[in-house]
Amino acid sequence: MVERKRGAGKKITEPAGKAPPSGDALARDLEDRKKRIREIIKILRKEYPRPRTALNYRTPFELLVATILAAQCTDDRVNKVTPGLFRKYPTVEAFARARQEELENDIRSTGFFRNKARSIIGLANKLVSEYGGRVPDSMEELVELPGVARKTANIVLSSAFKKAEGIAVDTHVRRLSGRLGLSCHDDPDKIERDLMEIVPRSDWLDFNFLLVDHGRKVCQARKPLCPQCVIKDLCPSFEKFSRLFSGRK
């Protein structure tokens, strides 16, 4: 217990804070996570031999727009919207000239359509005025575009340009990183830093897609299918979730 003064000389007693982990403990934990992640990736690559984004696109700009639309929306829904959308607005310049209300109606079914329409028109205008209609291929430039954060930039860089500048942390990666004990954080940027520290850089391009595929098929948000999981022996949450859902048919 520790004491500190309050007011005019009065003292209150508080519980002492928990001692932080030692340097040796942190080093052991890091090495354990590095070892486990290599095994996890090896197994997931066999299970999902063709990791790629589920979004349909033909150009980096189409992927950029589709990824923005996919926020808080399923990829399947986005893939139903984008064919007609890209026929109506076939170029970056066409999106830059789009009327806000009209574009909102075009993408309404993807949710958050007002903010998404504003971002798409804004980034299209910036691409036309500053990049000649070309999508930049660096993290620094992409995150300066309206509506583009690191997750979106990472997906565009990895899929459209085959560049590994980070790891996209979406809802699946966020969930599985916690369950697999790869990160203790909830903030996407902090999770990404943890993952970049343990995932070999040669696997950065595919890592998001591997976890997304596994999250959709097995490690689902509400009812993970733990008995069917190919990485259950490497998952610290396996026993807990197995007991929790043992009664599920």
70 token code pair: 């996919």
Q: Which of 117, 158, 123, 118 is nearest to 137 (CA)?
A: 158
In this prediction, residue 244 carries a pLDDT of 76
- Residue 13 within a domain: no
**Among the listed residues 181, 157, 179, the one whose alpha carbon sits nearest the alpha carbon of residue 167:** 157
154 and 64 within one domain = yes
Q: Are residues 154 and 209 located together in one domain of the fold?
A: no
Side-chain-facing half-sphere of 98: CA atoms under 13 Å: 29
Which residues are designated catalytic?
Answer: 151, 170
User: Is 50 exceeded by the pLDDT of residue 111?
Assistant: yes
**Does residue 236 share a domain with residue 218?**
yes
In a shared domain, residues 112 and 193: no
Question: Is position 50 within any domain?
Answer: no
Strand, coil or helix: what is 212? Answer: helix
202 domain-assigned: yes
pLDDT tens sequence across 11-26: 434 344 445 567 788 7
* Model pTM above 0.75: yes
**pLDDT over 90 percentage in the chain:** 84
Number of domains in the chain: 2
If asked whether residues 126 and 172 sit together in one domain, one would say: no
In a domain, 18, yes or no: no
Write out the two tokens for 62.
């189409």
Residue numbers of the domain that contains 89? 60-160
pLDDT of residue 38: 97
Give the residue among 55, 59, 80, 58 at the shortest CA–CA distance from 68.
Answer: 55
pLDDT mean over 62-82:
97
Which tokens go with 226? Answer: 């733990």
Last residue of a domain, one of 128, 145, 160: 160
Are 150 and 201 part of one and the same domain? no
**Residues 211, 208: Cα–Cα separation, whole Å:** 5
The Cα 194–Cα 190 span in angstroms is 6
Rounded to an integer, the average pLDDT of 141-159 is 97
